Amino acid sequence: MTTPASAPPTPYATLLGFTRYVDRTGPTKATFVGGLRKQRASRSGFNPHSQFVKALKADIAFHTGGTHLDQVVDVVKPRWRPLYQALVPGATAWLHSLGEPRAVDLAQTRDALAMLGDLPVKINPHFGVRHADGRVEAVRLHFDEAPPSEEATLATLHLMTRHMDGVLPHAEPVLVDIRRGEAHRMPSGARPEQIERWLAGEAAAFRAIWATAA
What whole-number distance in Å separates Cα of residue 124 and Cα of residue 160?
8
Domain that includes residue 27, residue range: 13-42+103-213
Is residue 188 in a domain?
A: yes
Could you tell me the pLDDT band of residue 10, with boundaries at 50, 70 and 90? confident
Is residue 20 in a domain?
A: yes
What whole-number distance in Å separates Cα of residue 108 and Cα of residue 126?
9
Q: Residue 3 has what pLDDT?
A: 40
Cβ 183 vs Cβ 176: under 8 Å: yes
- Neighbour-count burial of 133, counting CB atoms closer than 10 A to its CB (0-12 exposed, 13-18 middle, 19+ buried): exposed
Is residue 128 in a domain?
A: yes
The count of structural domains within the chain is: 1
Is residue 82 in a domain?
A: no
Q: Residue 73 has what pLDDT?
A: 96
What whole-number distance in Å separates Cα of residue 91 and Cα of residue 53?
10
In this structure, the strands spanning 127-131 and 136-142 are antiparallel
For the chain, the DSSP string reads: -PPPPPPPPPP-EEHHHHHHHHT--THHHHHHHHHHHHHHHHT----TTHHHHHHHHHHHHTT-TTHHHHHHHHHS-GGGHHHHHHHHHHHHHHHHHT-SGGGEEEE----EEEEETTEEEEE--SEEEEETTS-EEEEEEE-SSSPPPHHHHHHHHHHHHHTHHHHSTTPEEEEEETTTTEEE---TT--HHHHHHHHHHHHHHHHHHHHH--
Is residue 53 in a domain?
A: no
Is residue 88 in a domain?
A: no
Q: Is the pLDDT of residue 7 over 80?
A: no
Tens-digit pLDDT profile for residues 15-64: 999 999 999 999 999 999 999 998 888 776 678 999 999 999 999 999 99
Tens-digit pLDDT profile for residues 66-84: 999 999 999 999 999 999 9
Is residue 2 in a domain?
A: no
12-16 average pLDDT score: 94
Rg over CA atoms, the chain: 19
Q: Residue 183 has what pLDDT?
A: 98
Tell me how far the alpha carbon of residue 121 is from its chain's centroid. 11
DSSP 8-state class, residue 34 = H
Tens-digit pLDDT profile for residues 101-156: 999 999 999 999 999 999 999 999 999 999 999 999 999 999 999 999 999 999 99
Instruction: Name the nearest CA neighbour of 159 among 4, 9, 16.
Output: 16
Is residue 117 in a domain?
A: yes
Q: Residue 1 has what pLDDT?
A: 43
